[in-house]
Structure 1
């Protein structure tokens, strides 16, 4: 059956191109809560029709229109919530991987995660459900990336870093090997993180300090 997308924004467009580059068919439809949603479109690719609000997911599954889905939402907490709801309904949550990404054979990628162009996932890395490893991000050996984390473009985790759930590592930010970053923490763009970060804390700068 066709793949269902949740979310018709910019991340969804990036994933449309990922599917094209991977030689996979586009999603058969998209759900989005915007009342005037025009569907999901990206130049040079066929448009994906809007099928209604996210609440229709259970109906579409029961009708056997779709049996797999991907949550193309940028907000970490919402992506996790919707992903867990879809899994509870019975949807499969496939991993979407760009062919240019480098993933070690010993790495483990959780359901519903997206690995975008030129991302690198090192040896023995563990990635939780519904995570985003965005363009050019690097997770070095033995790192653990919790559910619904987002490594923004160009961000780097040194070896053995542990991210809790729903952590955002900003564009071009770097995290020193072996550090612990708590649930819901936010690391600002271009930051150099040299010490552990508490849950929910926002840090930024070089070296990174609480904001």
Structure 2
């Protein structure tokens, strides 16, 4: 099996590692994390961000950024690509993904998620537990769709967005880049770039 390193050592990283182990497709060599962080499940912390070049030169070519923060995940993914690493996808065998959906790289799809026909999931996205991405949806790079969210068809979500737990979005909505949607919100109107919205129906608070 190809060897892979995982950036991160938090709860999100544990969810990611659980899927990798279930799929048995990669040999996990270790975690890249801060000095104060420790490994788990017998998987050690083998370095920090400053060690990525050295680890690559030692022959490890695959990596995954298991960090929930969209900005940090993008920054580290770009650093890995600049060094030469290939970003893997982590797809739960308990997710349902159409053969006609398109997934870029560096994506995690958690158990219970559904991604329907002609959906397009951008690089570095988190499609979390029991999330529904319907037909013809576009999810921009480095966005996070939190657990239990439901995105109706032909919706476009920009880059760097965060849709909180249990968000519902009606069909054909446009959510621009870097939007934050509070947990349990119902989105029935387009949302401009950088907005923060909450409520039923969702309304802007900044």
Give the TM bin, normalised by the shorter chain.
over 0.9
* 1:84-133: CA deviation from partner (whole Å, max 9, x where unpaired): 11112111111110001000011011100000001000100001111000
5+ residue gaps, structure 2, are none
* 1:122-179: CA deviation from partner (whole Å, max 9, x where unpaired): 1000011110000000110000001111110000111011111011111001111111
Q: In 2, distance between residues paired with 1:26 and 1:134? A: 23
TM-score normalized by structure 2? Answer: 0.96
5+ residue gaps, structure 1, are none
Residues 11-30 of structure 1 aligned to structure 2 (within 5 Å): 11-25=12-26, 27-30=28-31
Give 1 or 2: higher strand fraction: 2
Q: Is the 8 A contact 1:129 1:148 kept in 2?
A: yes
The structural deviation recorded for 1:25 is 4.4
Query: RMSD across aligned C-alpha pairs, in angstroms?
Result: 1.1
- Please state whether the residue corresponding to 1:207 is helix, strand or coil: coil
Q: In 2, distance between residues paired with 1:9 and 1:54? A: 15
Aligned pair 1:149/2:143, yes or no?
A: yes
Q: Is the 8 A contact 1:174 1:192 kept in 2?
A: yes
The structural deviation recorded for 1:26 is 5.0
Q: In 2, distance between residues paired with 1:73 and 1:26? A: 19
TM-score normalized by structure 1? Answer: 0.93
Match among 112, 120, 137 for residue 106 of structure 2 = 112
